[in-house]
Structure 1
């Protein structure tokens, strides 16, 4: 009986060994099959991951944002495709006959011709449908402001003409002021004739990404933007208190070996409306600014 049991045990042991070997072989075969077939399975139209495969042309993707922030504080941004080619051609035909020697407004409202501004300019008729479209575009960009607060002016620089360092905001006291500026390029054939901000260093943007050199003159020490037809530069002229920012001094550099024609798009808004709209954080900042001690006492800020 014992001998029979031993034989049965031996046979069972052999059967178990073969079963384990078979399982091991099948497992290895299954793993190899998975490695070979998985890429094909993932790329099949019915698989959810197929639409996320790199380089898949059927994936509905969005283009890169058309807005690139140049500076957070002061806020300066570059907007690609702000004015279409057809709009540029239309505005050039509309504005050229209206151009006159540029003037500057004094604080008392009087107008003078300045040696600092040698370009020619003209405010475009606000009832024109294309001009209204530009104004609406600028208003919507800033949080659905009123296009009635947007002034659109064409400005033309012949060879050698410039606008020396200046501010777009008016000195107080005023109930309205230019909270922001768009400067869009309709046409540019000149060299080294961008917009310079002398209080803002160019920094090392190009070392992080060379694409910056498409819109910024990477050879200059000071921040100087290039003239890219159809694009616009946007910046804020005022701070949260409605006061002009002294770091937003800028200049339209002289047109060299060519000319340039652009659009000044100014948002001239009531300062109380600016605060009510919360353009700089809302009314709560006017009434209460929390201190570090207040935050700590309410468990909103902890050391370490």
Structure 2
């Protein structure tokens, strides 16, 4: 069709070059043939433009449908990780395709230029945002044992949450992002789902061969050479001249031969390893460290899913009570205290922050939000890290009487001096937002962690929950099997240091990824300086 159109256009353009057509009726009659080809070329062009416009209209209608539903309740819409991922994808990958479709004429270019001129008013996500959204979905998938096919259907924990299912192209993009991050495990999961959905689609959203290319290599990287070879053969059947696939096929065939040759050698090595264990050879320290990491990881994920709990002999000692004290605040309003663990002692204080105070703190903190950082224990410098995903800001007492009042309240409840405490840190967790297991206090090797503050180590943590969370988002302590679930207006409190000043390793904790909903918290880290008469150090260096 397009070859004919181009040929016709060439005839039209070339005709004036011959000249003197008017001098012969025979030549004039040939102009009718030329005109016929011109008409067909224009018809082909109009048909192609109509097809493009019809596709644009269809895409636009779908975007409008979802946007209208989202506009009714933006918070609920964005609280769902699938909706959030698809929104980022629409404004990156899908928008790039739409721009390509609109730049073939001056009107489309003008409209795009108008959008560009509004750059100060609009916020466009980039490739890093897209990768972050995809990685967040993978994190949620792993932590909460979410099935790939169910996620693609828009289901989370068996419930329909998303406004639409994922297309093959959506799944393909998740797989592509995993591939770009070197994560071949998730690439395989999502490319397999993309393949299944592509084959069922009437209007294909992605090419079958493109899926096969990614899936084949990631399958190989997962160790399944035979399957990778089969997928590559399927790819070459569709695209016989695919250069990379032809090279990979030769490579996979050789790798398969080498694998078969090494099987016997591997069996012999296994026998030798068993003999080494029998003879009492030691295992490296790295092995033990790796085992400890995986044990903690398993405990962390079980707690995040709510699968672990404390034994009866521990829970029998837990109770709720009204905490009174010498301060005027506690005399008037006793704190609703819940003891959730004995050693280390962890309390939850209920209803210690009002909705109005929460609104003020959020309003003050939001304009100052920056990507949350962690401290490099070697350099002492603050830096972003993939294991902490949130945005945060710091509020001083002089910023608002509300903040000052909250600080005084913490001092009344804990009995600690707030003069040397850090400013109130306010944090909002985004898509899949989390903070992996960590200590709040500085360990011995982190000598310069709080040197600039000059107030010693973090003796205690007071953590406010400023929102409920629909699913996920717990604060968990993997070493002691404790999970604290966000409750708006409540706060958790624990000491990070033993009375002898040593760090309490059992206080190692983590913020589980937010599965559905949004999570707001605020922290008050209380330091050693000024607590000498409120929580005296023990004279016994071994005292815990």
- Fold match (TM-score > 0.5): yes
Pair 1:73-2:343 in alignment:
yes
Aligned counterparts of 1:268 and 1:180: Cα–Cα separation in 2: 7
1:177 aligns with: 457
Corresponding residue for residue 93 of structure 1: 363
By percentage of residues, which structure has more strand? Answer: 1
Offset, 1:259:
1.2
Cα distance in 2 between the residues matched to 1:254 and 1:289: 37
Change beyond 3 A, Cα 1:64–1:227: same
Instruction: Please report the RMSD computed on the Cα atoms of aligned residues, expressed in angstroms.
Output: 2.5
Q: Does 1:244 align with 2:503?
A: yes
Q: Counterparts of 2:405 and 2:420 in 1: how far apart (Å)?
A: 12
Q: Could you say which residue in structure 1 is the equivalent of 2:533? A: 277
Aligned length: 202
For residues 19-70 of structure 1, give each alpha carbon's deviation from its aligned partner in whole angstroms, at most 9, with x where no partner exists: xxxxxxxxxxxxxxxxxxxxxxxxxxxxxxxxxxxxxxxxxxx999601111
Does structure 2 conserve the Cα–Cα contact (< 8 Å) formed by 1:136 and 1:147?
A: no
Structure 2 residue aligned with 1:189: 469
Counterpart of 2:353 (choices 75, 79, 83) is 83
1:269 Cα offset (Å) = 2.7
Superposition pairs of residues 1-304 of structure 1, within 5 angstroms: 66-107=336-377, 108-128=379-399, 129-172=401-444, 173=447, 176-201=456-481, 223-270=482-529, 273-274=530-531, 276-279=532-535, 282=536, 285-286=538-539
Shift of 1:115: 0.9
Structure 2 CA distance for aligned equivalents of residues 65 and 261 of structure 1: 22
Shift of residue 163, structure 1, vs aligned partner? 0.5
8 Å contact kept, 1:132–1:147: no
Give distance in 1, aligned partners of 2:409 and 2:386: 33
Deviations 1:207-240 (A, max 9, x none): xxxxxxxxxxxxxxxx111110000011111111
Q: CA deviation at 1:289?
A: 9.7
Task: Mark the runs of 5 or more structure 2 residues left unpaired by the alignment.
Answer: 1-331
Distance 1:136 1:142, change over 3 A: same
Partner deviation per Cα, 1:158-217 (whole Å, 9 max, x = no partner) = 12111111111012346601111111111233402110110113xxxxxxxxxxxxxxxx
- Whole-Å Cα distance in 2 between the matches of residues 69 and 127 of structure 1? 32
Aligned equivalents of 1:249 and 1:122: distance in 2? 23
Q: Which runs of 5+ in 1 are unaligned?
A: 1-61, 202-222, 291-304
* 2: CA distance, partners of 1:255 / 1:182: 20
Q: Is the 8 A contact 1:151 1:267 kept in 2?
A: no
Shift of 1:144: 4.8
| 8 A Cα contact 1:158 1:258, kept in partner | no
Deviation at 1:142, TM superposition (A): 2.1
Whole-Å separation in 2 of the counterparts to 1:64 and 1:122: 30
Taking structure 1 as reference, are residues 154 and 288 closer, same or farther at Cα in structure 2, changes over 3 Å only? closer
